[in-house]
Amino acid sequence: MTHPNGNASLREVQSLIIASEERLGQRIDRLAESIASNYMALTAERDRRYEQRFVAQEAALKVAKDEVDERLEKLNHLHSQVLTDRGLLVQREVFDSALASRDQRISVLETWKAKASGGAFVLTLFAGLIGATIQRVFA
């Protein structure tokens, strides 16, 4: 009902305000639902991305671990080869002792050779003297 001067009555204004408040409340409720829905979607997307990142990091960690394990295995193999090779090498003290022993035997042989050569020379001279004496006697 309108007032005689053309203005709306108080009840009409109140009912318009109430209707407006109801529409505003409904819009606020829809907006809150939309915000909640968007928040849940964003949270789910963030969680999905965290999960992807975590899975990728685990995969990278596994690859790195496998590489380290492979390197360690190669190093262990190399270490065992070095130990095997080290066992085949002669220790310095053993080598020096064997060298000194060999040098001593060579020295003994050289001395014997020198004495034998000297003795052979003396025998050759003695045989020459005997031969010369015999030739003079029979000549």
pLDDT tens column, 61-101: 999 999 999 999 999 999 999 988 887 877 888 888 989 99
Average pLDDT over residues 37-44: 94
Q: What is the pLDDT of residue 136?
A: 86
Q: What is the pLDDT of residue 5?
A: 58
Q: Indicate whether 128 pLDDT > 80.
A: yes
DSSP sequence for the chain: -B-TTSPBPHHHHHHHHHHHHHHHHHHHHHHHHHHHHHHHHHHHHHHHHHHHHHHHHHHHHHHHHHHHHHHHHHHHHHHHHHHHHHHHSPPHHHHHHHHHHHHHHHHHHHHHHHHHHHHHHHHHHHHHHHHHHHHHHH-
Find the range with the poorest average confidence among 56-65, 79-88, 103-112: 79-88
Q: What is the pLDDT of residue 10?
A: 83
> What is the pLDDT of the chain when averaged over all its residues?
89
